[in-house]
Structure 1
Amino acid sequence: MLAAFAFDHGLNDRWRAAVDAHKAHAAEAWPQEAGGVIDQEGRYHACSSIAADKIAHFEIHEDEMEAVCGHRPAAILHSHCSSEDEQGKIVPPQDCPSAQDMRSQMDWAVPWGISLVTEGGATDPFWFGDQVERPALLGRSFRHGVDDCYSLVRDWHRQVAGIEIPDFVREPDWWAPHEGEPPLDLYAQGFEQAGFVRVDRGRDSILAGDCFICSVRSPVLNHAGVYIGGGLILHHLAGMCSARDPAAVWRPKLDFLVRHRDLPEDFVCSEL
């Protein structure tokens, strides 16, 4: 059985009977993905998949969703499954949302849960979406598309500065080149759309709220963080917990700075 997740959003306990029903459904369907919806009364309804590839994807027809729970579900659940590669090696289930998962969650705007399923059973789901309680800024575990460096930048602006910035649909390895396709450059292409403008400052003149964008083992910019004052940055590296680090350690990478257009330059950052 896979390990439990670090942050408890409270939804697994709130919908315990529905979650357990989903886990049983997902375990029975393995190695195919399975899913369903939780209605406004907290009941789980298993749904059939209309995905062309039911091993790698799950998709619910809107008509079935409306038939089982009305116009708007309280939450949507599905599974990611372990698989076997061409050499017979077991590939663990993807423990983060795909770009399509993120897109669908944004479209429905309800909590979205994903259980990880192996031959041994299903985990409690992890939850994501702006309708789901967020963990503390410091010490959160890493999950791409849920709790990653961009998620931390978004949450800092919402919780500390009172500024909403949009989320962006992204695959777990969006910065990696794929055969026949160039790597995406989401930070360079998206920071203006998110409300940021580039600022030119000396490395010793950084202001609280300035955000750095840099490259970490990537051909494109793929990491970001926030300068929070006192010589510290707040950021979240893959495979680690979100943390405050000395800005001096990252100073060689701090020459690409952006700042949200709605954040005044005299903003005073509250202590984290």
Structure 2
Amino acid sequence: MTRDFYTVIPLIRIHADAEAPRECCGIVVEKRDGALQYVPCRNLARAKDQFVIDPKDAAQAEDIGQPVAYAHSHVFEPPTPSAADRESMARSGLPWIIVNHPEGSFTINSAAPYVAPLIGRKFVHGVHDCYGIVRDYYLTELGIVLNDYPRLWGWWERTDGPDLYRDNFAREGFNAIHEGALDAPALRLLRLHDVLLMRIRTPRDNHAAVYVGNNVILHHLIDQLSCRAVFDGFYQRRTTAILRHRSFIGRD
């Protein structure tokens, strides 16, 4: 199967050249006759060095054939998978083809289990973001699997669309043990592994952090590296809820 991917590399290179300096992205499908076809897709990512495949284009690719690989480009960067690439590749379960622009070098990468270190991640919305750090903390530190949810950039600015946190935290096993502004009694409720919802310059909750004890949170802000931070007045004033996973209810 890997050898067959070489037939679509020239088309991915052409797409990469056309989209530069933004990354190109697309899907390799296998048609009914067994031939491989590269289907270029629109990139919806905000940053030019990231990619998000347009769901409509992905659906059209599936109409053509069975997806067998994902492809994208790295512009002026080696065609080796980034940490976000490796994590997304693991979730997809399919090979990833990465092509360099402008040289045209490429790699064909097999999916393998991977979770990036929790500290020092580059922000990649939909993969390594504030919800991603919560998911991976619960997986690596606690062995608790939380579902992932597709999310488009700017969902937090709209009040008529899906709400990543409010729509889903209950089905993921979380209970709100406090709602609203934090006061002294609310702060005393905080326990290790609690999730804090925050509203930072938006009309709805757009940030989440994990309380890791000793007045410290683990979180990942837009355009910053993931880190531990003091849970000080800035974050406390923006907290709207304290969530606790059912696994820890009644352990006090």
Give the TM-score category using the shorter length: 0.5 to 0.7
Q: CA deviation at 1:115?
A: 5.1
2:177 to 199, 204, 212: 199
Residue 124 of structure 1: how far off its partner (Å): 6.5
Q: Deviations over 1:33-82 (max 9, x none)?
A: 543269xxxxxx84243979xx963543477438xxxxxx5xx2133799
Residues 21 and 205 from structure 1, CA distance in 2 versus in 1: closer, same or farther, beyond 3 angstroms?
farther
Structure richer in strand, relative to its length? 2
Given that 1:78 and 1:114 are in contact with CA atoms closer than 8 Å, whether structure 2 keeps it comes out as yes
Q: Distance in 2 between matches of 1:220 and 1:46?
A: 44
Say if 1:50 and 1:61, in contact at 8 Å, map to a contact too: no
Partner of 1:144: 125
| Mapped contact 2:29–2:38 kept (Cα < 8 A) | no
| CA–CA separation in structure 2 for the residues paired with 1:123 and 1:212 | 44
Q: Which residue of 2 aligns with 1:261?
A: 246
Task: Please tell me whether the aligned partners of residues 12 and 38 of structure 2 are also in contact (alpha carbons under 8 angstroms).
Answer: no
- Report the count of equivalent residues: 209
Matches of 1:47 and 1:183 in 2, distance apart? 34
- CA separation in 1, counterparts of 2:146 and 2:249? 16
Q: Once superposed, what is the RMSD of the aligned Cα atoms?
A: 4.1
Superposed displacement of residue 253, structure 1: 2.6
Query: Counterpart of 2:122 in 1: which secondary structure?
Result: coil
Q: Which has the higher helix share?
A: 2
- Structure 1 residue corresponding to 2:72, chosen from 70, 74, 79: 79
Structure 1 residue runs without a partner (length 5+): 1-14, 39-44, 67-72, 83-95, 268-272
Partner Cα distance (1:113, 1:257) in 2: 38
Residue aligning to 2:39 = 49
In the TM superposition, residue 185 of structure 1 has moved relative to its aligned partner by 2.1
| Structure 2: 5+ residue stretches without partners | 43-52, 76-83, 179-184
Is 1:189 the equivalent of 2:150?
no
Task: For residue 116 of structure 1, report the CA deviation from its aligned partner.
Answer: 8.1
Matches of 2:28 and 2:208 in 1, distance apart? 35
CA contact (8 A) 1:26 1:35 kept: no
Matched residue type, 2:71: H
Query: Which SS does the other structure have where 1:224 is aligned?
Result: strand
**Structure 1 residues 157-206: Cα deviation after superposition (integer angstroms, max 9, x where no partner):** 111111111111111222223xxx83532211211122111013621331
- 1:138–1:244 contact (8 Å) kept in structure 2: yes
Q: 8 Å contact 2:123–2:223 — kept in the other structure?
A: yes
The answer to whether the Cα contact below 8 Å between 1:80 and 1:116 also exists between their aligned partners in 2 is yes
Q: Structure 2 CA distance, aligned partners of 1:206 and 1:18? A: 54
What are the within-5 Å matches in structure 2 for residues 212-227 of structure 1? 212-227=196-211
Secondary structure in structure 2 of the residue aligned to 1:25: helix
Give the percent of matched residue pairs that are identical in Structure 1 and Structure 2. 23
SS at match of 1:146: coil
The secondary structure found in structure 2 opposite 1:197 is strand
1:209 and 1:226 in contact (8 A); partners too: yes
Q: How does 1:1-272 map to 2 (within 5 A)?
A: 24-29=10-15, 30-31=18-19, 34-36=26-28, 46-49=36-39, 57-58=57-58, 59-61=60-62, 64-65=65-66, 73=68, 76-79=69-72, 109-111=92-94, 113=96, 120=102, 132-177=113-158, 182-200=160-178, 202-249=186-233, 250-264=235-249, 266=251
Which AA in structure 2 matches 1:25?
L
Q: Distance in 2 between matches of 1:259 and 1:123?
A: 47
Q: Match of 1:11?
A: none
- Whether the 8 Å contact between 1:214 and 1:254 is mirrored in structure 2 is yes
The change in CA–CA distance for 1:219 and 1:21 in structure 2 (over 3 A counts) is farther
Task: State the SS of the aligned residue for 1:175.
Answer: helix
Q: CA deviation at 1:219?
A: 1.6
Going from structure 1 to structure 2, the CA distance change for 1:77 and 1:187 (only over 3 Å counts) comes to same
